[in-house]
A and B are shown apart, each in its own frame.
Chain A
Amino acid sequence: MADTPHSPAPEQPPRDATGAAGPASEQPLDTRVPERLGEWRPAEDVIEVVRSPAPGASRGTWRTFRETARGLRTTFGQILAGPTTVQYPEEKVAVFPRFRGRHKLHRFEDSGLEKCVGCSLCAAACPADCIRVVAAENTPQDRVSAGERYAAVYEINLAQCIFCGYCEAACPFDAITMGHDYELSDYDREDLIFTKEMLLAEAIERAPLRNEDE
């Protein structure tokens, strides 16, 4: 198999006014290497040299044959190595502990009261403007959160959310955190607006958690 090296075409040497480089000229071809062109030799890019595979004809042919055999061995070896595909809907990729998936709202474990006090700091921090909070006063008859006020409406539009985690960072009461759920596609945009009840509900953890050393 022929192998012709492609060197980048060097600049043409400047021809003098007498037309020394023309084929009709009696002058011998100037083969001196111009200083600025370094290793360039004029004949090399003009004459096509078909080379046998290096080194030399017979050893080169043997090398080509051997390299082909090596390639065949490599591909066959990959059959034995086995596939690395994750069969996605059945097998899920494990997420890292700090993976930012769907949000969760939290309650106090002892009293069952909501941690969110409706301060709207998350909505203020949100760069995508996807959180809507409407606060209301707690009354002694109807106590929803631990603070003075609570979130009467808490909606996150997951179609807009960029999962940056700023809401989580802005929250002074750790009421909102980013969960691990990443399977969030839906057929309807309205279905992607998650209400407070949906965010408070125990999330179905469909994504497995990655181990420390994974």
Chain B
Amino acid sequence: MLLATVDYAEEWWIQVIKAIIIFAIALQLVPVVLLAERKLLGRMQNRYGPNRVGPFGALQPLADILKLLTKEQFRPTTSVGVLFAVAPVISILTACAAFAIIPFGDTQNIFGTEVGLYGIDVSIGPLYLFACGAIAFYGIMLGGWSSGSKYSFLGSMRGAAQLISYEVSQGLALVGVIITAQTLSLTGIVHAQTGMWFFIPQVVGFLIFLVAGFAETNRAPFDLTEADAELVGGYNTEYGGGRFASYYFAEYLNVLVVAGVVATIFLGGWLLPFGIHPPGWVDPIVVLVKMGIVTFLFIWARATLPRLRYDQLMSFGWKVLLPLATLNALVTAIIVVATD
């Protein structure tokens, strides 16, 4: 049985090079987002943010990462060793894997070879994404459980309930887009937005996906998993050094993945409005700028909204987002069938 097809496959060596490039880009983007977040949060709170390390504090993330990586690795005596070490690896691995399907441009002719500016273009794009998200949940769950600490365990339990609740709405929010675009391939969805970005007809889906995205990445106002004030950091309380850095890295990479998916699915990917067709090398820049805008929304929401109470989180997910997402999918389906 054929589960999924890859629409455009290249030679194996091109795939290897692309994998390295994508990993390198992800690795470079995370410190940028980290710094941008701290700077913007600072500005929104009438302060400068980090501005001492390097010009305008630009080397602050580097200093942070160096500090973390040079720290001693230790674990509590109550922890489960192997899982404790594996959990952050799962988190970072799934985040990187999810990054692979975000298209940064159409197929380009580079030195006489046709290369797609994405890791893979699978025919099950969003499903692959949710699969990665579902596995990433094990990273948090195992990390919290194997720490052998109450706070970590509480954090990961909250995370489990939260991720499962909001994944449903997140998936349903995309159904409207998929019905309209008639394809699951992310490049296909971008091509379907040539006339109008899905942001306009699917504005409800966009908002639901964004809000559910906040919850899926454990960001404020849905950061109950980490809840510094109550849980001392939640699932990663017992982590330090490089392992904590991996969790941190995965968290911000997940933000970038959600930003990339929103940019691809709702904001027209590499397309520009008003039918402007720039040369191919502009496409990745367009995608990165759109990702930056969505990331700004993440930071903005974090600076604005206080953390939800647990019952508020659950009732918002199940009683507001899920009915809205279902209704959105239903209305879209009716409109598509009626106008077909």
**Residues of chain A at the chain B interface (Cβ within 8 Å):** 1-4, 50, 61, 68, 71-72, 74-76, 78-79, 81-85, 87
Q: How far is the CA of A79 from the CA of B36 in the complex (A)?
A: 13
Q: How many residues of B contact A (CB 8 A)?
A: 20
Q: How far is the CA of A32 from the CA of B59 in the complex (A)?
A: 69
Name the A residues within 8 Å of B301 (CB-CB). Answer: 72
Partner of A83, one of B46, B315, B316: B46
Name the A residues within 8 Å of B320 (CB-CB). Answer: 1, 61
A68 in contact with B305 given A2-B311, A2-B312 (CB within 8 Å):
yes
**Residues of chain B at the chain A interface (Cβ within 8 Å):** 40, 42-48, 300-301, 303-305, 308, 311-312, 315-316, 319-320
Q: How far is the CB of A121 from chain B (nearest CB, A)?
A: 47
Name the B residues within 8 Å of A85 (CB-CB). Answer: 46-48
Name the A residues within 8 Å of B308 (CB-CB). Answer: 1
Q: Are A1 and B316 in contact (CB under 8 A)?
A: yes
Q: How far is the CB of B309 from chain A (nearest CB, A)?
A: 9
Partner of A84, one of B40, B47, B305, B316: B47
Name the A residues within 8 Å of B316 (CB-CB). Answer: 1
For the complex of A and B, the 7 pairs showing the least CB-CB separation, nearest first, are A2-B315, A71-B304, A75-B44, A75-B304, A79-B43, A75-B303, A85-B47
A-B contact count (CB 8 A): 47
Q: Are B43 and A78 in contact (CB under 8 A)?
A: yes
Q: How far is the CA of A2 from the CA of B317 in the complex (A)?
A: 11
Q: Are A76 and B47 in contact (CB under 8 A)?
A: no
Q: Are B300 and A82 in contact (CB under 8 A)?
A: no
Q: Are A72 and B45 in contact (CB under 8 A)?
A: no
- Which residue of chain A has the shortest Cβ distance to B297 in the bound complex? A72
Q: How far is the CB of B333 from chain A (nearest CB, A)?
A: 24
- Which residue of chain B has the shortest Cβ distance to A65 in the bound complex? B207
Q: How far is the CB of B274 from chain A (nearest CB, A)?
A: 27
A72 in contact with B300 given A78-B46, A79-B43, A81-B46 (CB within 8 Å):
yes
Q: How far is the CA of A74 from the CA of B300 in the complex (A)?
A: 10
Q: How far is the CB of B212 from chain A (nearest CB, A)?
A: 15
- Which residue of chain B has the shortest Cβ distance to A71 in the bound complex? B304
